[in-house]
Structure 1
Amino acid sequence: MDGTRVARRRRWSWAGRVVLALVLLAIAWPTSLNELAVTPATALPVALVVALPVLAAPEHPWRAWGASALGALLIALLVGPAPGHAGGVQAVHLVVLCGLTALVVGRCAPWAAAVAAVGLAGVFVLATGAAPEGFGLAVFWTAVVLAVGLLLRRVLTQRREIAVVEELRADEESRRAVLQERARVARDLHDVVAHSMSMVVVRAETARYRLPAVDEASADEFSAVADVARQALTELRGVLEVLRTDDESRRFAPQPTVADVDTLLAATSEAGVDLAVTTTGDPTSTGPAAALSTYRILAEALANASRHAAGAPVAVTLDHGPEAVRVRVVNGPGRDATGPGSGLGLPGMRERAAAVGGELTAGPTDDGGFAVDARLPVGSAVGVAP
């Protein structure tokens, strides 16, 4: 559609300039017999010199102006004026040169505009036969043409700026449409595929308990199926996170590891949280997926504690066991809170734990505080989204 519109516009542009050239030719041909010392045989070539430059003016205004100005100079020198006329430049040629000069001022570089203005003034002086009143006339009409050209330049500049703004807006609308479609795809995948894969994991893991006749070999096979399905579910959740974000840096930036947990705890303590930390086990045995989930869950739990139980002491327990990492964050009752949260923190933590085959529980404690308890298998090697 756009290509068709552009082609149609080009055809109309060429048709318009051809019509204009024919009109100028029809005017310059007979008037040259009155204004210039030409014969009927040479009147047509002189008229063509006047009319033809307008054909190239839209694409090459500077070249068109140069051809027209050179033609006016040659006609004045080689042909000369008719008896009773001065200068040897036709009135219609002056009009064409004024239009081309305004186009050069409006579209070309400043140096080209300056040369065109000076050249136009010279042609005006040449047309008046260097009479004293011709200098004032040349200055006046050159100033008028310059004003028209500068106005044209301003209009064209504004049109370019508007075009840039429209292009940016179109790009933004396109990006927004892509994000909306990605969000829709992420929802569909989550609602259909993720739920089904979760059910596969659950049924495979509970098969040995639901089916008494399952022998040990079959139970091991069900466990293998559950592991494969859990790994696929982890990868799917990572894809969903990528679909939900438009931040390229989040997709490729290095992800936090267990080594970053100490930095997180130190930053939380420096922020004024009354923090007590107990760490046991060997952190180096934790796989990358479990390490990332540990960091994210711990960060969310600490943020919730500081937001909803401001001023309360917070106890963090990290147990890096041979099979799983245990993360426990307990805060006492807070003196005040910043208000209700978005409601996405706890489901997000549970999703992160489930994505690596772990589990997470959260709820109020007997003394009015809140506890988050997560168990994450250390052998999880499949990465999750940031």
Structure 2
Amino acid sequence: MVQAALGGLRQELFHDAFAYRPLSRMDVDRGPTRFLPRRIRVYTGLLPHAFVAFWAVVVFGMGYDGIYYHFGPLAFVAAFMPAAIVLLTLVRPVLAFWASLGVTPFVGLITGYQDGWPWPDATLLMHLVVLGVVAVRTRPRAAAWMWIATAVFSVFMEAFLGVGRGSDTAPLLFASALVLLTVTVFQVRRQADREVTAQQTVTEQERSKRTLLEERTTIARELHDVVAHHMSVVAIQAEAAPYRVENPPPELEQAFLTIRENAVAALTELRRILGVVRAEDYEAPDAPQPTLGDLEALVANVREAGLDIEKTVTGAVRELPQGVELSAYRIVQEALSNVLRHAPGAAAKVEVSYVLGGLGLRIANGPARGLVKPSPGAGHGITGMRERVTMLGGEMTAEATEDGGYEVTAFVPVSREEAEK
């Protein structure tokens, strides 16, 4: 149990400390924000970023006292660094937590803070904000480890460097526990709401499929009762018509034979179509979808086509949601196809990064070495890749490099809850 706990600590706060995890936009298509005009909704998605920036300004304002009384460049640093660390939570949340602990005694020594060592007012607020933001963006277990690390750090600093100073350790630990508890309750409730919404979506989809199946069955029954009946009558009448005419000419017999053959063929085809429409499982069975595990075969296939390609995987390889793995595979596939089409003979690199909270992709190639044939493409491949990433709440860039090559980078966020399903 102890080994598992230490492994969780290493994974949560050390292994992913430098992971790049940009804060995603808020979903504005659900909740009250969906009623706002489209122009306003575009900016409403940045509310989480604005919230963090607001607290960064507040932290800087609290540290301004150090500038006012000391007027030195280090005093300005003492006010600026805590605010910068709050902003760091937007891209590297776990690193921001460690930076918060590291900066705190430095700021205290610069400002000569004595009353609440080792937590000056600005760094105390900074640490609470960082804890809250990081807890929102990670799992409750990570929040618990951060609180324990904060407690150990505070006790250590107070015992060895806080002789003769006042202490804010107890108020900080109480306030941080309250913040983390509030965030954890919020996270649990939000996850429960997500699960309920997902279940409702599945139920609605099943209801829609059932309704569609009933409608298809009704249409099939009507077609069979009406059209099939009349086609059968046409076939029978065409077969019997030559016998009702005395000495019919050969042309007339051939005409009736053709009518009958076409009627029988149409009836056979109609019954086949109705069989498909009436089938309970009217959807074709899903073919196995490619995943990131199939990238090696894709790379080998591209190598056989003459492309010099290097594939690198970093981070802890783990199974991701099917939609993420499929989209990642398609992005790499399309990017390599573009290299073959637009940069024949170029060297290419494929980098797959399993990082905290998501998956990073980078597909880069150098300049073309062979003759580039004009391509009639209209950029739909890049558009398709961007749509896949956007649909998953990620970010993507595709641009030319300085050496004449091209680079596609993408980051697809994956919550811990989704990754563990």
Normalising by structure 1, we get a TM-score of: 0.51
Equivalent residue number for residue 196 of structure 2: 162
What letter is aligned with 1:167?
T
Q: Answer with 136-145 or 229-238: which moved more.
A: 136-145
Equivalent residue number for residue 264 of structure 2: 230
Equivalent residue number for residue 119 of structure 2: 89
Q: Residues 74, 42 of structure 1: CA spacing in aligned structure 2 closer, same or farther, 3 A cutoff?
A: closer
Q: Residues 18, 201 of structure 1: CA spacing in aligned structure 2 closer, same or farther, 3 A cutoff?
A: same
Post-superposition offset of 1:110? 5.7
What letter is aligned with 2:71?
T
Equivalent residue number for residue 15 of structure 2: none
Q: Distance in 2 between matches of 1:76 and 1:230?
A: 93
Equivalent residue number for residue 143 of structure 2: 113
Q: Distance in 2 between matches of 1:164 and 1:46?
A: 46
Any idea what SS the aligned residue of 1:236 has?
helix
Question: Do 1:32 and 1:90's aligned partners in 2 also have CA atoms closer than 8 Å?
Answer: no
Deviations 1:57-78 (A, max 9, x none): 466543443443343354345x
**Matching of residue 140 in structure 1 with residue 174 in structure 2:** yes
Q: Distance in 1 between matches of 2:130 and 2:167?
A: 24
Any idea what SS the aligned residue of 2:46 has?
helix
Q: Residues 190, 119 of structure 1: CA spacing in aligned structure 2 closer, same or farther, 3 A cutoff?
A: same
Post-superposition offset of 1:233? 0.8
Equivalent residue number for residue 201 of structure 1: 235
What letter is aligned with 1:90?
P
Question: Do 1:80 and 1:88's aligned partners in 2 also have CA atoms closer than 8 Å?
Answer: no
Could you tell me which of 29, 52, 68 is aligned with 2:100?
Answer: 68
Q: Residues 155, 61 of structure 1: CA spacing in aligned structure 2 closer, same or farther, 3 A cutoff?
A: farther
Q: Residues 31, 54 of structure 1: CA spacing in aligned structure 2 closer, same or farther, 3 A cutoff?
A: closer
What letter is aligned with 1:25?
V
Q: Distance in 2 between matches of 1:225 and 1:49?
A: 89
Deviations 1:142-192 (A, max 9, x none): 433342233133123213212321331342244235425534543564366
Identity percentage over the alignment? 26
Q: Distance in 1 between matches of 2:118 and 2:141?
A: 28
Equivalent residue number for residue 150 of structure 1: 184
What letter is aligned with 2:243?
Y
Q: Distance in 1 between matches of 2:104 and 2:45?
A: 26
Q: Distance in 1 between matches of 2:283 and 2:64?
A: 71
Root mean square deviation, CA, Å: 4.2
Could you tell me which of 53, 56, 61 is aligned with 1:21?
Answer: 53
Equivalent residue number for residue 104 of structure 1: 134
Question: Do 1:65 and 1:104's aligned partners in 2 also have CA atoms closer than 8 Å?
Answer: yes
Normalising by structure 2, we get a TM-score of: 0.47
Question: Do 1:65 and 1:97's aligned partners in 2 also have CA atoms closer than 8 Å?
Answer: yes
Q: Answer with 241-250 or 149-158: which moved more.
A: 241-250
Question: Do 2:235 and 2:260's aligned partners in 1 also have CA atoms closer than 8 Å?
Answer: yes
Equivalent residue number for residue 81 of structure 2: 49
Question: Do 1:29 and 1:43's aligned partners in 2 also have CA atoms closer than 8 Å?
Answer: no
Q: Distance in 2 between matches of 1:135 and 1:54?
A: 20
Q: Distance in 2 between matches of 1:17 and 1:170?
A: 34
Any idea what SS the aligned residue of 1:197 has?
helix
What letter is aligned with 1:47?
A
What letter is aligned with 1:232?
A
Q: How does 1:1-386 map to 2 (within 5 A)?
A: 11-15=43-47, 17-18=49-50, 21-22=53-54, 24-26=56-58, 28-29=60-61, 31-34=63-66, 38-39=70-71, 41-55=73-87, 57=89, 61-76=93-108, 79-82=110-113, 84-87=114-117, 89-109=119-139, 112-122=142-152, 124-125=154-155, 126=157, 129=162, 136-183=170-217, 185-187=219-221, 189-190=223-224, 193-212=227-246, 214-215=248-249, 218-219=252-253, 221-247=255-281
What letter is aligned with 2:192?
Q
Question: Do 1:81 and 1:88's aligned partners in 2 also have CA atoms closer than 8 Å?
Answer: no
